[in-house]
Structure 1
Amino acid sequence: MFKQSTFLQLKTLSSLNNLNTSRSLYTSVLKSDINITKNGKTNISVGQGGRSSRTGYTATVFGASGFLGRYVTSKLARHGTITIVPFRDQMKSRFLKVTGDLGVVNLVEFDLRNIKSIEDSIKHSDIVFNCIGADYHTKNFSMADINIEAARRIAKITKDYEVPRLVHVSSYNADPDSSSVFYATKGIGEAAVREEYPNATIVRPSPMFGREDKILRHWGNKATIFNFNSNKTKIYPTHVLDVAKALELIGFDDSTEGQLYELYGNTEYSLDEIRKIIEPFTKQKYINIDIPKPIALLMTNYLQYIYWKTTNPDQVERAYIDQIIDFRDPNIKTYNDLGIVPDTLTDHVLKYTKQFRTYLHSHDLPPSEKELKNLRKYAHVIEN
């Protein structure tokens, strides 16, 4: 009897140890199931880190329906972080509901001119991600309205409600003295955020490639024939999933507050080089017509009278500005400080441009992972 009871005690203890071990491995982001925010709130995680778990945190993602914001929302929601999604058009945001379990993703209608709606989006959160940005003017908002005043307003309300963390997404080449309106407003916006919320973390991502990007999809489309500066603009493209992962890590790590992060790829490309990389994958021969800058500026100025979004003069100006990174500045953090190895553009070209291939070249596709698996399975038969 003594031996049996001892065995049961040891078995129970072993089960508890396994439970504690599994809870300590809650997610790749949280290192503990008990977390205290900077304003003293205690968040307790529940579950094993899957879709139906809860991290105990509440996060607001402004710009959640945008290119970067949708991936940030997905990474937060899939581990059970209650995610507030402020929206202007519910039809353009409702697809985010399925990124998390029932009740995890919550849509809140807001307007940048309505202070109360911004407060309702922020007041219950532990982390605020501002992914809102505009690189063109609209009939309702200018680039200054979005990149400066909206950023200032969100930062001020975040500070007023004592939200412990604010992560502001800026842009590469952000500089108040830039000849580009977009880069200049992003630079001024950073200063405005710092003024209202000094401990905000500012992130400057490089041009991002991904499923809905403006790099691979843009240059993979055969209809894109006009270019500026002979496509000599040099950039360090980075994967949008890497940027989203970095934002997730930054949001849950209090040691990153007040820091400036430059998130860029390991390889520099010109736009012309990117287009030449795409050509073998799409099996299309592209036509390039270079437009001189004075003519391009004149044409794009007239295009702004069209109702829908078109190429604007500031895009032309940015085509003559290379991406600049100060590799020697010790105050600028990178992917390395977050333990992330960024993806290479060439590894994802096929995945994001294969829809531009014609049916005539469908047989030229490389073998899928399933086909490769079957080949490895029967490799010994082939060799014999």
Structure 2
Amino acid sequence: MLRYSKPIASRIGAVRSIYTTVLESDINITKNGKVNLSVGTGGRSSRNGYTVTVFGAAGFLGRYVTSKLARHGTTTVVPFRNDMKKRFLKVQGDLGVVNFVEFDSRNLQSVQDSVAHSDVVINCIGADYNTKNFSMADVNIAIAERITQATKDANVPRLIHVSSYNANPKSESVFYATKGIGEQVVKSIYPEATIVRPAPMYGREDNLLNYLGPKIKMWTPNRNAKLVYPTHVLDVARGIEAMTFDDSTAGKTFELYHPEQLSFAEIRQLIHGITEDYSEVGPYTYRFGDHVIPLQLAKFIAELKQVVFWKQTNPDQIQRHLIDQQIDFSAKTFADLGIHDTTVLADVIFSYVKQWRHPLISEKGAPTPKELAKLREYESPITP
């Protein structure tokens, strides 16, 4: 984006974000020549002139992306399906900042209406399990294709597509394969799309700590030996926020991960160091409760669990236990966005897992520096 302005001294005290240059610009010109005028000091009651559509805004990552955009006056369009699940997004910004559009992924007109007036479209929609209405292919490929085509038809200058780590059309995991094919479809329609591959994300509503933490014991194909580079959801949201207002990221692929490798078993040990839950199931305690089960048997049990209507461990999730996170070192990272202070899991894990503490120690405070140092022994930096 071309920016014609000088910093305004009166904006001292304004919230500084990754897109400070936008906040300090009176006039911003998008890639397709649209002129956006900013008003205010850059805070919650200001307007920076941009309109951004966030698909999947009620999801785990989408809610934080929406919050970071709306709190600085970005007019944010939120397509929604369930009225009850989007209400909390209204307060993410000032009056009139967060706007809702009813959306049905199979209704092309509703998709087109959602992107019609936007400067940037961010697609955070994704699914790692099948439902009775949508398969993983429906969500990760077909919906991504419709959103991308509508974005192109509306002449929206920027598209940011959130994929996944390990996205690979040839993967043994259906989720990774559909995410890889989804990337190819998006690029074939909109070559200038920015592709984002987040590592496994942790946070308040995540599928990482909430999957590994509450269980007293786990039966897996590999004793939770899967290796990942977990990253904080707020860091990923910061990265997407930066891409939204930086046209130099168009057409590039970003792998967003924290440079410390942990296995699922080590994350379980980190959690156990805080919860101190010594409950037993038969002769097995929480700490020593991760056991090996044949892959096909684990998948069969997971398939039986799909009979119930609420989300349960699925067969593809079992398959993903055997696939370590692979880093594409040719892709851009947090550092290319100017983000060098990403969160260390051990520094914040207490706030996310303290609710699982044993009742006898529920009033115990956060770990001491010595205890934190012990927790960090499980972490190891990666080398390209």
Interval of TM-score (by shorter of Structure 1 and Structure 2): 0.7 to 0.9
Q: What's the counterpart of residue 86 of structure 2?
A: 93
Q: What's the counterpart of residue 13 of structure 1?
A: none
Equivalent positions of 1:61-72 (< 5 A) are: 61-72=54-65
Equivalent positions of 1:132-151 (< 5 A) are: 132-151=125-144
- Mark the runs of 5 or more structure 1 residues left unpaired by the alignment: 1-16, 369-384
Residue 212 of structure 2 corresponds to residue 219 of structure 1: yes
Letter in 2 for 1:347: D
Q: Distance in 2 between matches of 1:56 and 1:256?
A: 20
Q: Distance in 2 between matches of 1:241 and 1:120?
A: 29
- The structure richer in helix per residue is 1
Q: Distance in 1 between matches of 2:186 and 2:307?
A: 32
Most deviating of 22-31 and 125-134: 22-31
CA displacement at 1:19 relative to structure 2: 4.5
CA contact (8 A) 1:27 1:79 kept: no
CA displacement at 1:69 relative to structure 2: 0.1
Structure 2 SS opposite 1:61: strand
CA displacement at 1:216 relative to structure 2: 1.9
Letter in 2 for 1:338: L
Residue 307 of structure 2 corresponds to residue 305 of structure 1: yes
Q: Distance in 1 between matches of 2:344 and 2:189?
A: 36
CA contact (8 A) 1:266 1:344 kept: no
CA contact (8 A) 1:207 1:238 kept: yes
Structure 2 SS opposite 1:364: coil
Q: Distance in 2 between matches of 1:325 and 1:221?
A: 28
Q: Distance in 2 between matches of 1:365 and 1:282?
A: 11
Q: What's the counterpart of residue 294 of structure 1?
A: 296
Q: What's the counterpart of residue 32 of structure 2?
A: 39
Say if 1:19 and 1:263 are closer, same or farther in 2 by CA, change over 3 A.
closer
TM-score, structure 1 normalization: 0.87
CA displacement at 1:113 relative to structure 2: 0.3
Detail structure 1 runs of 4+ shifted over 6 Å in the superposition: 23-26
CA contact (8 A) 2:11 2:42 kept: no
Q: What's the counterpart of residue 272 of structure 1?
A: 265
Q: Deviations over 1:59-116 (max 9, x none)?
A: 0000000000000000000001010000000100111000100111111111010001
CA contact (8 A) 2:14 2:43 kept: no
CA contact (8 A) 1:59 1:126 kept: yes
Most deviating of 77-86 and 354-363: 354-363
Q: What's the counterpart of residue 377 of structure 1?
A: none
Residue 365 of structure 2 corresponds to residue 365 of structure 1: yes
Q: Distance in 2 between matches of 1:261 and 1:162?
A: 23
Structure 2 SS opposite 1:35: strand
Letter in 2 for 1:225: M
CA contact (8 A) 1:218 1:224 kept: no
TM-score, structure 2 normalization: 0.87
Say if 1:219 and 1:45 are closer, same or farther in 2 by CA, change over 3 A.
same
Q: Deviations over 1:130-161 (max 9, x none)?
A: 00000011111111111011111101110000
Q: What's the counterpart of residue 340 of structure 1?
A: 339
Letter in 1 for 2:253: L
Residue 168 of structure 2 corresponds to residue 163 of structure 1: no
Q: Deviations over 1:204-262 (max 9, x none)?
A: 00000011112222222145633332100000000000000000100110010000000
Q: Distance in 2 between matches of 1:45 and 1:134?
A: 36
Q: What's the counterpart of residue 349 of structure 2?
A: 349
- Mark the runs of 5 or more structure 2 residues left unpaired by the alignment: 1-5, 279-285, 369-384
Q: Distance in 2 between matches of 1:180 and 1:241?
A: 27
Letter in 2 for 1:322: D
Say if 1:359 and 1:309 are closer, same or farther in 2 by CA, change over 3 A.
closer
- Number of matched residues? 349
Q: What's the counterpart of residue 243 of structure 1?
A: 236
Say if 1:136 and 1:18 are closer, same or farther in 2 by CA, change over 3 A.
closer
Let me know the Cα RMSD of the aligned residues. 1.9
Say if 1:227 and 1:246 are closer, same or farther in 2 by CA, change over 3 A.
same
Say if 1:176 and 1:48 are closer, same or farther in 2 by CA, change over 3 A.
same
Residue 319 of structure 2 corresponds to residue 317 of structure 1: yes
Letter in 1 for 2:11: S
The structure that has the greater radius of gyration is: 1
Q: Distance in 1 between matches of 2:7 and 2:139?
A: 49
Say if 1:23 and 1:361 are closer, same or farther in 2 by CA, change over 3 A.
closer
Q: Distance in 2 between matches of 1:320 and 1:366?
A: 33
Q: Distance in 2 between matches of 1:156 and 1:325?
A: 29
Q: What's the % identity of the aligned pairs? A: 58
Q: Distance in 1 between matches of 2:118 and 2:59?
A: 20
Letter in 2 for 1:154: I
Q: Distance in 1 between matches of 2:231 and 2:367?
A: 26
Q: Distance in 1 between matches of 2:312 and 2:57?
A: 23
Residue 192 of structure 2 corresponds to residue 199 of structure 1: yes
Q: Distance in 2 between matches of 1:308 and 1:243?
A: 28
Residue 255 of structure 2 corresponds to residue 255 of structure 1: no
Structure 1 SS opposite 2:223: helix
CA displacement at 1:301 relative to structure 2: 2.2
